[in-house]
Each structure stands twice: as structure tokens, then as C-alpha cells.
Structure 1
Amino acid sequence: MNREELIQKWLQDDLNPQELAAFKALDDYEPLMKLSENLMHFKAPKFDESLAFETISAEISKKQKSKTKWLKPILKIAALIAISFSVYYYTTTLDTHITTLTAEKTTFELPDYSEVTLNAQSQITYNKKSWKNQRELTLHGEAYFKVEKGSKFNVQTSSGTITVLGTQFLVENRNDIFEVVCYEGSVQVITDHKNMVLKPGDQFLILNGKFIAREKENILNPAWLYNHSQFKSMPYKFVLNELERQYGLKVDAQTINTSVLFTGKFVHTDLDLALKAITLPLNITYTKENGLIVLHEK
């Protein structure tokens, strides 16, 4: 494979291991990589790098036939021009993904200095390039937001859209549960089931596809920010799901009724204490079997 083909495949991130080795052997490899690093913050208007490469390569082909002494410099320039626009386009259109694993939380800032804290097994996706014109992100899982005042701020989920201007709120979007809690300011929630504007203390909850009315509460922050999970009249299966997320374990609850409602909390830092907190009030016992927690009714 010739130099032009190797460079073009590199631009497309399509080199196999053998081609990558050949690309690294090119005389131009180090200058190309150095330019690629320097162009990470390069800004230019949208450009069709494929068309540019084809046009320049055609011109080079003509020059090759004349066997001029300046073939190599022209080839370098052609590759560098194509790389300039390719790297810019590639690096500025990529989405940013932030993900947490089991038993992990993380706090980070968005481009407008809004703050997000992700609970365990959650993901947020957004685009830095378009953020100034459109403050919008996608959430899978659970997150707590402190939004800086400014233009409309949208949180997209598979269950609905949450819209605010500047406020503090929580969103949880997982299997069979969609919850929004407003802590400051106001939050608009739009779903197929119901549309609502939440004020501080208001909660929006859909369980198993059904809207659940909740009383206003004087709450300042989500409990999990302080390493404990709190529940009020929640089906027991959601309590067990959260225990699994926070401790990275599996719970066998086949012999108990997981639809019973639970009110209480458990800590994220002591498994035995957490298990006692969620089993004793319901008269349930448990055993540990190779990382599996098996629940039993007394």
C-alpha cells in the first residue's frame, strides 16, 4: 500500500495492525503525529476532508508523472492540509461520555460550570462544541444537577424531558422508575404520562409505567450524596436494586415478596449494617453465599 493510501486510511481511523506498522515506518510519521497533537484545538469552518484529499492527491499524481524533485514536499503539504481539517472536524463533533461503575459516584462540571454528580451505574452524554448554543445532555441512570443560570437547560431521558433555567434537581431514569425531585428554583417535566412544573420539595415519580402522587417534602439534597440511600413507601425490589448498585453484588429474593413497600435507608459504607437496615423492619433474614445475598422470610 502506497503512502497516500496509508495516510488516507489513517485519517479515517481504518488502519489494520499491518497497515499501522507500515504507516509508522513512513518518513512523515513523526511530523504527522506532532501536527495531529497541535491541531486538537485548531478551529476552522466545516470542511470536506475527503474531497480535499482526493483533489490534492490528483494534483500530486500529475506531478509524479513528471518526476519532479519536489514530489515529496507536495505530498507532505497535501497530507498536512487534509489532516488539519480532519482532526478539527473529528475532535469537535465528538460527544463527551461520562460513566460511573458499580459502587462509584463522580462529580464534574459542564462547559457552563453547571455541576453534575452521577450516582452508581449512570451515564451522561453531551457535546462541548454545541453547548454554548444548546445546553442539552442525555442521562441514563441517576444524577443530581446544580445548573448555572442562563439559557434553557434540557436533560433528555428515555422516559421524558426535564427543562430548567437555573436550579438544583435530581433525575433518576432506570428500568421501571422515572423520578425527578426539585430542590431549588423550578423544573418542568414533560412525559407521555403527565406534564408538570415542580417547585422546591415537589417530586415527580413514575413506577412501573404508573404516575405516583407524592407529598411535598422539605428536603435539601439527595441522600446518596452523603453515602446512604433513603426510601419512602417504595416497592422493595427498588431497594434491592439500589443495594446491588452500591455494593456490586447480587441479591436472590425469589422466596420473598418484593412488591411490599419499604420506608427507611441504608448506608453505602458498611454492607452488614446496610443489610440489617433493609431486612429487620420486614422480618427478613439473609445469608451470604460466595458474593450472593440470599433473602429468606422468617
Structure 2
Amino acid sequence: MNREALILKWLNNDLNDQEFEAFKALEDYDDLVKLHTNLQHFKADNYDTSTELENVLSTIKSTGAPKNNWLKPLLRIAAVLAICFSVYYYTTTLNTTVTTQLAQKTTVELPDASTVSLNAKSLLAYNKNDWKKERNVNLQGEAFFKVAKGSSFNVKTTSGTVTVYGTQFNVKQRDNYFEVICYEGLVGVTYNANETKLTPGDSFLVIDGKIIAKEKEHRSTPSWLNNESDFKSVPFKQVVAEFERQYNVEVTLMNVDATQLFTGSFTHDNLDVALKSIALPLQVTYSKQNNTIILKRE
């Protein structure tokens, strides 16, 4: 997919996992995100570009066919103005978008006073102006939602939709990984057109397209809010990916099976301690070269 198509799908929050990775690889990814965020401060009045362009052209035609050659330049000017107004209107009515970079977390307050905590390398988008009519939140990455009493909305991801009934829950949507954990209240998870209701302690997990059964969750909040990532029988590739997001490093595996299941945790506050936490259980060695971590099985 070319650059323009990726950007357009991103603006419409319509990227799948593979397309989102391609979009993040664009050279001007950071600039596009910053521009998108800054444009949220503006709001344009309703403007119908097609109608206005039609009015301009009708006015020109009503003056009669000119004998000189001024019509073509004027038509070009009218077209340029129409495009400019269209771009301005489009960019100033986009969703409010919040993103986090590698090794970064943040908390967002929604219009109904619900709060969303975003984990590293995640994106949250919603329409603040239409919130009363359509309470939809788009998520790419991982977030913990603490919903205000009496509020409800939908959390949409490329993997599935979570319907909120006033609760606290965590949603993680990464490459080939989709997980929802309910900590309080009730949530509904729609996956492949089927809805599953979750009560406190219940989880819904899909890895590589397969629904995985999980034990009851006994924590009151997700571990990453306390700067720790915890895993239970998760493919090691998912552990490595989370490690890269939390420490802004690249991990290279040598003779290590990325599909083997891992149970354990690592801290977000100490790189060396975290490395030991993921290397020792698998009996692999590690080394650091600049911004690259090498995990190797002898």
C-alpha cells in the first residue's frame, strides 16, 4: 500500500495490524502524529465543498462565455480554493487522538470524566464533539479504562469491540494478540460477531486467531500500571515485543524459539534486572550492543 493510502486509512482509524506497522515505518510518522494532534485544537464550521465549488462554477457560467482567455485560470483558482477549504474542513474535524511513544505512558480523561491509561506505543482516538451522540473510542495498543458511573461506550479495535456497561477493564490489542480483562462491573467483548460477557476476574484472550482459556484474574488493576509486565503461558515473541516497547530497544533472538510459552514478569524500571527476568527462565544468555539486546541459546 502506498504512503497516501496508509495516511488516509490512519486518519479514518481504519488500519489493520499489518498496515499500522507499515504506517509506523514511514519516515515522517512522528511528524504526522504531532500534526494530527495539534490540529485537534481547531474546529471549522460546516462546509460543503462540492456545493460551494458548484456555486462558483455556476456564477462563472452565468456571466457568459468570455472572448479572452481568463476563464481557465479562474477555474483553476476556484478548484484550488475548493480543495483548500476541503482540506481545512477535514483536518479540523478529525477525532481527538492521543498517542504514546516507546517507554512512555499517559492518562487521558474522556468527556464523561472516564479515564484511560495508555501503555507504551499505543493510540487512542475519539470524537469529543459528537460524544453525546456516539460514544466510540478507537484503540491501537493497550489501555486501562476506568469508566465513570452511568456512562457507557464502545472501545473499537481491529481485533474486536468491547462494550462498556460502567466498569474497570484492560484492553490489549497488539500483533496477533487481543486480550480483555474485566476488573470491575461488566463488559461485553464482540469477536467474530459473537459477544462474550465478562464479570470481575474474567478474561477474553485471542492469540494468533485462537481463543485461549485463562484462569481468574485476582489483581485489582493490570500489572503494567505499576511498571511491571506479567505473563502466563504467553508465546515468548509477545514478551519480547512488550520488552521492546517498554525499553525502546531492539531484541534479536539467536537459536531461541519465539513460540515457546513464557510465564513470568519483568520490571519497567531497571533494564538489567528485566533482562535477567526474561533470560534466566529460558536458560539463555544476553548481551547488549548499543540499542540492541541479543538473547542467545548456546
Q: What TM-score does the superposition give when structure 2 sets the normalisation length?
A: 0.71
Q: Which residue pairs with 2:280 in the alignment?
A: 280
TM alignment of 1:151-166, pairs within 5 A: 151-166=151-166
Inter-partner Cα distance in structure 2 for 1:192 and 1:173: 15
Q: Which residue pairs with 1:99 in the alignment?
A: 99
Q: Which residue pairs with 2:203 in the alignment?
A: 203
Measured on the aligned residues, the alpha-carbon RMSD in Å equals 2.8
Q: Which residue pairs with 1:22 in the alignment?
A: none
User: Contact 1:203 / 1:214 at 8 angstroms: preserved in 2?
Assistant: yes
User: Contact 1:92 / 1:129 at 8 angstroms: preserved in 2?
Assistant: no
Q: Secondary structure at the match of 1:137?
A: strand
Q: Which amino acid aligns with 1:184?
A: E
Inter-partner Cα distance in structure 2 for 1:207 and 1:230: 16
| CA offsets 1:84-105 (integer angstroms, 9 cap, x no match) | x999966763211111111010
Q: Which residue pairs with 2:108 in the alignment?
A: 108
Q: Which residue pairs with 1:149 in the alignment?
A: 149
**Offset of residue 129 of structure 1:** 1.1
| CA offsets 1:253-274 (integer angstroms, 9 cap, x no match) | 1311122221111111110000
Q: Which amino acid aligns with 1:255?
A: N
Q: Which residue pairs with 2:255 in the alignment?
A: 255
Q: Gaps (5+ residues) in structure 1? A: 1-38, 63-81
User: Contact 1:142 / 1:171 at 8 angstroms: preserved in 2?
Assistant: yes
Inter-partner Cα distance in structure 2 for 1:191 and 1:58: 50
Q: Secondary structure at the match of 2:296?
A: strand
Q: Which amino acid aligns with 2:200?
A: P
Q: Secondary structure at the match of 2:255?
A: coil
User: Contact 1:168 / 1:182 at 8 angstroms: preserved in 2?
Assistant: yes
Inter-partner Cα distance in structure 2 for 1:42 and 1:210: 45
User: Contact 2:144 / 2:168 at 8 angstroms: preserved in 1?
Assistant: yes
Q: What TM-score does the superposition give when structure 1 sets the normalisation length?
A: 0.71
Q: Which amino acid aligns with 1:215?
A: E
The verdict on how the C-alpha distance between 1:279 and 1:94 changes in structure 2, with shifts beyond 3 A counting, is: same
Instruction: Name the % identity.
Output: 52
| CA offsets 1:64-95 (integer angstroms, 9 cap, x no match) | xxxxxxxxxxxxxxxxxx9xx99996676321
**Offset of residue 235 of structure 1:** 1.3
User: Contact 2:254 / 2:297 at 8 angstroms: preserved in 1?
Assistant: no
Q: Which residue pairs with 1:216 in the alignment?
A: 216
| CA offsets 1:176-228 (integer angstroms, 9 cap, x no match) | 10000000001100111753100001010001110001111211111111111
Inter-partner Cα distance in structure 1 for 2:88 and 2:291: 48
**Offset of residue 156 of structure 1:** 0.5
| CA offsets 1:102-152 (integer angstroms, 9 cap, x no match) | 101010101111100111111011111111111111111111101113353
Q: Gaps (5+ residues) in structure 2? A: 1-40, 63-81
Q: Which amino acid aligns with 1:252?
A: T
| CA offsets 1:36-61 (integer angstroms, 9 cap, x no match) | xxx95787xx45377568869999xx
User: Contact 1:188 / 1:198 at 8 angstroms: preserved in 2?
Assistant: yes
Q: Which residue pairs with 1:170 in the alignment?
A: 170
Q: Which amino acid aligns with 1:280?
A: L
Q: Post-superposition, which runs of at least 4 consecutive aligned residues in structure 1 deviate over 3 A?
A: 39-43, 46-59, 85-92
Q: Which amino acid aligns with 2:100?
A: T
Q: Secondary structure at the match of 1:253?
A: strand
Paired residues, number = 238
The verdict on how the C-alpha distance between 1:49 and 1:162 changes in structure 2, with shifts beyond 3 A counting, is: same
User: Contact 2:264 / 2:278 at 8 angstroms: preserved in 1?
Assistant: yes
The higher radius of gyration belongs to 1
Q: Which residue pairs with 1:12 in the alignment?
A: none
Pick which of 144-153 and 161-170 moved more: 144-153
Q: Which residue pairs with 1:136 in the alignment?
A: 136
Inter-partner Cα distance in structure 2 for 1:287 and 1:133: 53
Pick which of 283-292 and 86-95 moved more: 86-95
Q: Which amino acid aligns with 1:165?
A: Y
Inter-partner Cα distance in structure 2 for 1:181 and 1:205: 9
**Offset of residue 283 of structure 1:** 1.1
